[in-house]
C-alpha cells in the first residue's frame, strides 16, 4: 500500500485565493483526519470523518474552512478565502476500526504558504 497520499506537497498562494488540499487515505480505512501544524499552536485536529461522514468539525477555525469526503478514497480541505495566518503544514491521517488501538497513519503533509 502506498500509504496516505496528499497533494499538493507545497502550495504558495496569495491572500484571498481559494486553496484546495487533497487526501487519499489508505484503502480500507474508515476514519480520516485533517490536522494543521504550526510552531505556535502545535498539532491541531481540524475535522474527522467516519465512513465518509463528518463526526467532529469543532476544530475548524472558521467558515472559511470546509472539508468533504465524497467517497471512501478521497477527501478535500478547502480554504476560501485564504489568509496569511492559514500558513501551516496540513496533514491528513487515516485509521481503521479493525485496529481497535486507533493507530493513525499520516500522510507527508501539504506545506501551505499564504502571502
Partner 1 sequence: SQQGEEDPQALSIQEGENATMNCSYKTSINNLQWYRQNSGRGLVHLILIRSNEREKHSGRLRVTLDTSKKSSSLLITASRAADTASYFCATDAIGGSSNTGKLIFGQGTTLQVKP
3-state helix, strand and coil shares in percent for the chain, rounded to the nearest 5: 5, 55, 45
50 or 113, CB closer to partner 1?
Answer: 50
CA distances from 100 to 30, 31, 61, 95, 103 (A): 12, 12, 29, 10, 8
Q: What letter would DSSP give residue 73?
A: T
Out of 46, 48, 60, 88, the residue judged to bind partner 1 by CB under 8 A: 48
Out of 12, 15, 43, 115, the residue judged to bind partner 1 by CB under 8 A: 43
User: Site residues for partner 1, window 62-91 (CB under 8 A)?
Assistant: 91
Residue 34 contacts partner 1 per CB under 8 A: no
Q: What letter would DSSP give residue 26?
A: P
Residue 101 contacts partner 1 per CB under 8 A: yes
16 or 99, CB closer to partner 1?
Answer: 99
Amino acid at each position: 500500500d502506498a500509504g496516505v497520499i496528499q497533494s499538493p506537497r507545497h502550495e504558495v498562494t496569495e491572500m484571498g485565493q481559494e486553496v484546495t488540499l487533497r487526501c487519499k487515505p489508505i484503502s480500507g480505512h474508515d476514519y480520516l483526519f485533517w490536522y494543521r501544524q504550526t510552531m505556535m499552536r502545535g498539532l491541531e485536529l481540524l475535522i474527522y470523518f467516519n465512513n465518509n461522514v463528518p463526526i467532529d468539525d469543532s476544530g475548524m477555525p472558521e467558515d472559511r474552512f470546509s472539508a468533504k469526503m465524497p467517497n471512501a478514497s478521497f477527501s478535500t480541505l478547502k480554504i476560501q478565502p485564504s489568509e496569511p495566518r492559514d500558513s501551516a503544514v496540513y496533514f491528513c491521517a487515516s485509521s481503521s476500526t479493525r485496529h481497535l488501538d486507533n493507530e493513525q497513519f499520516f500522510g507527508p503533509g501539504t506545506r501551505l504558504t499564504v502571502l
